[in-house]
């Protein structure tokens, strides 16, 4: 696999090529390729997640000096959630470089989105180790900063959970509740499936890399399912 193509696409040349390669190795790949000398990308993802949050937080803090903490938190959540990161990864062609098991390679649904989002964070971590914070910040800026204005204009930062609660109380006099249905993955890299209920009735489910993200996903789907969008 020619990772020089990817380096050219992001305009970053790695000093340590193995770091970039590692960013694309999914845990499942190692199960079928036990002689691989490199580790999977989860440690890089862990680091990249922290770098990403700092970069986005600093950017939003300076871009919107008059916005309160609550608004900035909502903006940040929208920019770093798995949907946004997976989309950014797809635009970069990350999918073509992923090293996956045969089973994972066949999955093109929600599970693949999480894999791509994780790989995007792993790439940030790899850039940070190889070239430092400034390079990692510039990479994040080139991929995500331009999304901010459209995100706010289209109100993609809206707290779906709060919105669904207001609508459910208004239309049914019921306060929604949420329950974890399933957790998969290691402790540091779980995927949560959460159900949203009106009384004992399951409305729908959502998935996310955190309980909060899964609840937001479930609430957004519930709004669409109920036809309550405005």
Residue 230 pLDDT: 56
Sign of torsion over alpha carbons 87, 132, 125, 47: negative
Residues 125, 164, single domain; the answer is no
pLDDT of 6-17, one tens digit each? Answer: 999 999 999 999
Residue 70 pLDDT: 87
Phi and psi (nearest 5°) for 159? -75, 95
Please determine, for residue 92, whether its predicted confidence score (pLDDT) is greater than 80. yes
Number of domains in the chain: 2
Residue 102 pLDDT: 83
Find out whether 196 and 203 touch, Cβ atoms under 8 Å: yes
Reported pTM: 0.77
Residues 47, 146, single domain; the answer is yes
Domain end residue (candidates: 136, 153, 170): 153
Residue entry with tokens 């999304």: 147
Residues 66, 138, single domain; the answer is yes
The chain-wide mean pLDDT, for the chain, equals 90
Which domain, by its residues, includes 196?
A: 160-226
Residue 51 or residue 153, greater confidence: 51
Residues 45, 149, single domain; the answer is yes
Query: Mean pLDDT across the stretch 195-202?
Result: 95
Residues 131, 180, single domain; the answer is no
Residues 40, 126, single domain; the answer is yes
Residue 197 sits in a domain whose CATH number is 3.30.160.20
- Active-site residue numbers? 49, 121
Residues 171, 114, single domain; the answer is no
Count CA atoms closer than 13 A to 41's CA, side-chain side: 32
Domain end residue (candidates: 126, 153, 180): 153
pLDDT of 159-178, one tens digit each? Answer: 788 889 988 998 999 999 99
């Amino acid at each position: 696999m020619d990772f020089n193509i990817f380096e050219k696409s992001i305009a970053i040349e790695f000093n340590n090529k193995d770091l970039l390669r590692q960013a694309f190795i999914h845990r499942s790949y190692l199960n079928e390729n036990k002689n691989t000398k490199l580790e999977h990308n989860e440690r890089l993802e862990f680091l990249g997640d922290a770098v990403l949050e700092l970069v986005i937080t600093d950017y939003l803090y300076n871009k919107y000096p008059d916005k309160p903490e609550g608004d900035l938190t909502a903006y940040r959540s929208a920019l770093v959630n798995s949907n946004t990161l997976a989309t950014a990864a797809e635009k970069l062609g990350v999918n073509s470089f992923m090293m996956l098991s045969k089973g994972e390679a066949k999955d093109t649904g929600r599970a693949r989105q999480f894999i791509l989002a994780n790989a995007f964070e792993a790439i940030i971590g790899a850039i940070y180790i190889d070239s430092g914070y400034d390079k990692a910040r510039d990479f994040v800026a080139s991929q995500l900063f331009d999304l901010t204005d459209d995100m706010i204009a289209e109100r993609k930062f809206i707290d779906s959970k709060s919105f669904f609660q207001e609508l459910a109380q208004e239309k049914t006099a019921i306060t929604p509740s949420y329950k974890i249905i399933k957790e998969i993955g290691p402790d540091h890299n779980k995927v949560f499936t959460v159900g949203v209920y009106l009384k004992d009735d399951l409305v729908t489910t959502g998935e996310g890399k955190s309980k909060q993200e899964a609840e937001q996903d479930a609430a957004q789907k519930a709004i669409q399912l109920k036809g309550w969008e405005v």
